[in-house]
Amino acid sequence: MPGSKLIILDRDGVINRDSDLYIKSPDEWIPLPGSLDAIARLNQWGWRVVVCTNQSGIGRGLFGMDTLIAIHDKMIKAAAHAGGTIDAIFFCPHTNADNCECRKPKPGMLKEIAARYNVDLTGVPVVGDSLRDLVSAAAVGAQPMLVLTGKGKKTRSDPALPQGTQIFDDLAAVAKKLTS
Q: What is the mean pLDDT of the chain?
A: 96
Report pLDDT for 100: 97
pLDDT at 43 over 70: yes
Report pLDDT for 37: 98
Report pLDDT for 3: 52
* Active-site hit among 10, 18, 129, 133: 10
Report pLDDT for 1: 41
* Active-site hit among 12, 18, 133, 170: 12
Average pLDDT, integer, range 57-61: 96
- The Cα 15–Cα 31 span in angstroms is 6
User: Is 73 a residue of the active site?
Assistant: no
DSSP β-ladder status, 86-92 and 47-54 = parallel
Indicate the pTM of the whole model. 0.97
35, 148 contact by CB (below 8 A): no
Q: Kindly indicate the confidence band of residue 178, based on its pLDDT and cuts at 50, 70 and 90.
A: very high
pLDDT at 49 over 80: yes
- The Cα 144–Cα 142 span in angstroms is 6
Average pLDDT, integer, range 15-32: 97
User: Is 120 a residue of the active site?
Assistant: no
CATH superfamily for 5-178 is HAD superfamily/HAD-like (3.40.50.1000)
Average pLDDT, integer, range 138-147: 98
